[in-house]
Each structure stands twice: as C-alpha cells, then as structure tokens.
C-alpha cells in the first residue's frame, strides 16, 4: 500500500517539477494574480475623473474648486466653458462627474442664502457614482462650514471661534482607515486557492484519462484510495504552499495586518483545501476531457465566488440564498481569513466555520471517492 502510494507521489512530483513551465505555472500566476486582484478588487474609489464648469468665476468658486483639485479622490481633467460639452464628455467616458457652479454662487453664499452646486454624474457604474456623490457632499459641506466660520469671524470677531456643529465621525472597529484593500486581500487569497486547487486536481486526473495513462494504471492492482491519495496529496501540499505564498504577498506587499494566529489560518486553509480537493476530484469523475473539466470547474467557481461574501455582502442577499451560502466552503473560509487577518480572532470564535468546512470537505471527498471507479464505464 505505502509502496504504491510512494511511487505515485514520486511520479507526480517529478512530473510537476521537471517541467519548468508547470513549475512556474504553480507559483508565479498566484503571485501575479494576487497583485492584480489586490489592486483591482477594491471598493475604494480614487482619482475619479471630473470636469468643472465655473460660471461664477469668483474667488469663492475658485476656492471651492481648489478643494477638488487637492482631493486625492478627484482628478480635475478639464475646465469647461459651456455646459453643452458635459454630456459628450460623460458619454465618451472621459469624466465620471461634472461639477457646475452657476453664476451668483459667491453672491448667494455671501447673503447667507442657499447656493447651488450642480453635479452631473455618470451613474452607469452606480457604485462609483454613489461614492463620488458622497465625496462631493463631504467636500462641499466642509467648505460651507469653513466659509460660514470665516464669515462669522469677520462680522463679529468676538464670537466664539468654535462653531457648534455636528460632525459625523466614523470610528470603525477593525479596519481603521476603511481601507478596502484590507477587506479584499484576504478574500482574494480565498478565491485564488479555490481556483488553483480545484482546477489542478481536476486537470491532473482528467489529463491522465485523456492521454490514456489512467487506463494503464487502472489495470494494475493499485487501490482506488492509493490512486486518489497519490493524485491529491501533491496538490494539497502545493495548495498549502500557495496559500502561504499569497498570504505573504498580502501581508508584505499590501500591508494588510495579520492580527491573528498562523495556526488558526493553517487549520482553516487545510480544511478549505480538503473541500476543494473533493470538488476537483468530483469534477474529474464527471469529465472525460480537459475541456469538460474546465467548463465544470467554471460552473463551480463562479457561484462559489459570487455567493461567498467576497464582493456582495451575504447580508444583502435574499434570505433563502443566505441559507444556501452555508453550503459554500468559500464563505466559511473567507470568514476565517478575514477574522484571522483583520480581527485577530481565534478558534473560540471561528470554530463553527472550521466545523462547517470539515463537514463539507468530508462529504465532498466521500462522494468523490465513491464515484471514482477503477473502470472505464
């Protein structure tokens, strides 16, 4: 038993590590993807392209606009002179927001009247649009407040320098700067491991089926379990190594704090990789060709990622869907990753997720092993 398993493993590792291309494929793409996704998958919107149209052309209006030029959230691209240019600019996607200050802006403000600032937003990406509007609101509100204060000081110098005002102060518990990279990077780790382990496992077996070596192995006395272990143990180890690798990128490149224990992360990763091996194995039992495996993999990966809480919060899904997500190992793994990374929580909090992954993994592996037959029918 052990001898055959040993020979299987030797063979698998030779095959993986002999070929430079395969070797590179196992470790370089995860890092690159981590970098790309780490930057791309972020809720934060910066450098929103903006056009400004100042009909007032007063000192006050220029003062307001300078707040936008100074803001890291906006890039002032063009200064317009005609409002008719706006529509075209937005259509061509050159700017997302156009800001229009109407004539009499300074005057109204001086008289203490409501001064109007017109904002035209491209809301085809509603997320960005909402965020942009809220930034504009903040900038405008602060500007108004400061304007009022200077105004007040000028008219009555002895008035208290501190204006009574309510400022909404955000005090997040874990992610102090609302840095969405912190939120997303652990998620990206989960996604990468999912895609890597599922496809590697499925492909490794289906490829042998396709080239015919599987048939040759099946006529040897090797046991089903020996074969399956021989095929999965290497990818288990590679998966674990990749987890460590992308986690290091997350910590050292993106500076996501690692507040929890490596042990808890390791347990979570092991359980999650077992689930993914089960899925990969299952896909290999229903696919005759690598192409079929790829399609099946896609059908698993897409919903697994969409309904994991990676992008869309699970809380905002319909009730029944929320219940279904408990069957998704990635959901639990993301909770573990975020818990360990951002909150530093331990097993006393994360045990339900661990148990869930353990159960799901056992069920999936059991089904796949049962389905995997040493025959060609």
Partner 1 sequence: MTDHDTIPVLAHDLVKRFGDFVAVDHINLEARAGEVVGFLGPNGSGKSTTIRMLCGLLRPSAGQALVAGFDVARKPEQVRRRIGYMSQKFSLYNDLQVIENIRFFAGMYDVPASVLHERTEWVLYMAGLVGRESTITGTLPGGWKQRLALGCAVLHRPSILFLDEPTSGVDPISRRRFWELIHAMAAEGVTVLVTTHYMDEAEYCNRLVLIFQGRIVASGSPTELKQQAMAGELLLIECDRLGPALDLLQQVPDARHVALFGKALHVVVPDAQTGIPRLRAVLSAHGIAVSRIEPIRASLEDVFVSLTAQLSGQRT
Residues that bind partner 1 (CB under 8 A): 3-4, 6-8, 10-11, 14-15, 18-19, 211-213, 215-222, 374-377
**Burial (CB count <10 Å: 0-12, 13-18, 19+), residue 82:** exposed
Least distance to partner 1 from the beta carbon of 233, Å?
15
Least distance to partner 1 from the beta carbon of 223, Å?
8
Least distance to partner 1 from the beta carbon of 295, Å?
23
CA nearest to 235, candidates 275, 190, 289, 286: 275
- Which alpha helices (DSSP H) does the chain contain, by range? 2-18, 20-40, 59-70, 84-91, 105-110, 126-155, 180-211, 213-218, 224-248, 262-286, 290-306, 319-324, 329-338, 347-371
Task: Name which of 194 and 229 has its Cβ closer to partner 1.
Answer: 229
Least distance to partner 1 from the beta carbon of 275, Å?
29
Least distance to partner 1 from the beta carbon of 217, Å?
7
Task: Name which of 8 and 194 has its Cβ closer to partner 1.
Answer: 8
Task: Name which of 218 and 359 has its Cβ closer to partner 1.
Answer: 218
Task: Name which of 211 and 248 has its Cβ closer to partner 1.
Answer: 211
**Burial (CB count <10 Å: 0-12, 13-18, 19+), residue 366:** exposed
Tell me how crowded residue 290 is: count the other CB atoms within 10 A of its CB. 16
CB burial string 133-150: b at 16+ within 10 A, e below: eebbeebbeebeeebeee
Task: Name which of 83 and 207 has its Cβ closer to partner 1.
Answer: 207
Contact between 230 and 5 (Cβ < 8 Å): yes
Task: Name which of 8 and 185 has its Cβ closer to partner 1.
Answer: 8
Least distance to partner 1 from the beta carbon of 344, Å?
45
């Amino acid at each position: 038993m052990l001898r055959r398993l040993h020979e299987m493993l030797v063979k698998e590792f030779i095959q993986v590590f002999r070929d430079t291309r395969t070797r590179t494929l196992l470790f370089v793409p995860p890092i690159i993807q981590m970098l790309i996704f780490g930057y791309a998958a972020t809720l934060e919107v910066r450098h929103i392209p903006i056009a400004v149209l100042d009909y007032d052309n007063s000192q006050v209006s220029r003062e307001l606009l300078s707040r936008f030029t100074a803001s890291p959230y906006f890039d002032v691209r063009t200064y317009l002179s005609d409002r008719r240019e706006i529509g075209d600019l937005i259509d061509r996607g050159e700017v997302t927001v156009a800001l229009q200050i109407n004539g009499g802006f300074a005057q109204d403000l001086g008289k203490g009247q409501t001064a109007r600032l017109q904002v035209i937003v491209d809301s085809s990406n509603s997320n960005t649009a909402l965020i942009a509007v809220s930034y504009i609101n903040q900038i405008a509100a602060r500007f108004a407040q400061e304007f009022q204060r200077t105004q007040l000081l000028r008219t009555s110098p002895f008035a208290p320098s501190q204006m009574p005002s309510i400022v909404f102060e955000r005090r997040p518990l874990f992610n102090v700067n609302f840095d969405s990279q912190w939120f997303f990077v652990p998620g990206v780790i989960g996604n990468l491991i999912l895609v890597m382990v599922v496809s590697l496992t499925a492909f490794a077996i289906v490829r042998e089926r396709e080239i015919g070596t599987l048939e040759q192995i099946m006529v040897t006395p090797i046991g089903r379990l020996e074969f399956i272990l021989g095929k999965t143990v290497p990818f288990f180890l590679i998966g674990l190594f990749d987890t460590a690798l992308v986690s290091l990128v997350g910590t050292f490149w993106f500076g996501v704090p690692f507040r929890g224990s490596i042990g808890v992360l390791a347990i979570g990763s092991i359980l999650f990789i077992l689930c993914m091996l089960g899925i990969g194995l299952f896909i290999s039992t229903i696919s005759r060709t690598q192409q079929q495996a790829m399609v099946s993999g896609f059908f698993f990966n897409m919903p697994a990622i969409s309904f994991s809480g990676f992008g869309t919060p699970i809380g905002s899904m319909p009730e029944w869907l929320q219940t279904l997500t408990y069957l998704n190992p990635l959901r639990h793994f993301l909770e573990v990753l975020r818990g360990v990374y951002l909150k530093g929580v331990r097993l006393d909090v994360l045990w339900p997720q661990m148990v869930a992954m353990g159960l799901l993994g056992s069920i999936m592996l059991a089904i796949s092993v049962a389905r995997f037959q040493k025959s060609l029918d």
